[in-house]
Amino acid sequence: MRFEHVGGVVCLGETMVMMVPAEPGPVHLVRTWHRAIGGAESNVACHLARLGVSSSWVSAVGDDSFGLAVRDTVGSYGVDVSRVRVDPARPTGLYVKEASPHGSPVRYYRRGSAASGMGLEMIDRLDLGAVQLVHISGITAALSDSCLALMRELLRRPRHGFRISFDLNWRPALWTDRDPCVLRELADMADIVLAGSDEAELVWGTGDPAGLRQLLPGPASLVVKQGADGATLLEGGASHFEPALKVEVVEPVGAGDAFAAGFLAATLAGSSPSVRLRAGHLQAAAALLTAEDVGDPLPDDVTDPLLHADPRTWASARLEV
């Protein structure tokens, strides 16, 4: 599943350094930590690059070793990071996963981060005259007033030759002192909206595709991800549903970003609704089959037959490690 002749995607949003315990035991006793990075929008950019799509990531990082690590890691996937701003005053954001038998709570240390300082000036870094798609998410709107202003201005500007995709990416911890009602406003101004039915239920009161279409009449394309059941695309007055693949799940984190990348790549390639949804499912499956946020895409000899398989063959397929 490759899309070499598709390109011009820019992803805008914060990526942070992530610290994960490298040894078992209570978090306060952990002495060794593994450093990684995490960011929804940069994950999408990395997945797109792995699929052969020309992509770039635009954000701000601190003038520190963590910022350098973030840029180097995202760039190592083949993503253009040349337009990332280095902030001399604010630090790179950080979050810590406190792994335990009862779950993995996440502690954010991103208030006052370099990315939270982004504002209208970042629009010039997007090079809108040379892109086909700008990908954003609801996370950025929660970071600061200036980030929200950036999102509004980007979505309100006339679009000449490019589209904007918006992934809801609901993170309740970011909205404790902000009004999430703006997410409906922002989503309705986008061209393509992606949302999980469960998160949409929490934010907008419904995860039903038809109900969401009533709430969001603006986007040309609305994708509702329905977990292990599948995904629905509402577009052009029609509704298209494609069941999810059966997958041996190694780690569920990152599947949503992977789905977005697969769907967007196939959309830019002009594929049919069925192929676009299947491309999303296949890229999500690649993420589910690894503990990494961005793993290797599935082999072409697996993906290509499935993209165009008959419904029975698709429904009976199962992918394992």
Which residues are part of the catalytic machinery?
257
In DSSP terms, 108 is beta-bridged to 95
Number of alpha carbons in the 13 Å side-chain half-sphere of residue 300: 6
How far lies 319's CA from each of 25, 289, 291, in Å? 33, 8, 15
Task: Put the strands of the sheet holding 16-21 in their side by side order.
Answer: 33-38, 16-21, 94-97, 106-109
Measured torsion, CA atoms of residues 182, 186, 192, 195, in degrees rounded to the nearest 10: -10
Q: Are 184 and 204 in contact (CB under 8 A)?
A: yes
The DSSP element (H or E) to which 268 belongs, if any, is helix 255-268
154 vs 111: CA distance, rounded Å? 23
Which is it for strands 60-62 and 54-58: parallel, antiparallel or unpaired?
unpaired
Residue 291's identity, in one-letter code, is A
Q: Are 302 and 40 in contact (CB under 8 A)?
A: no
In DSSP terms, 135 is beta-bridged to 11, 165
Q: How far is CA 279 from the centre of its chain?
A: 15
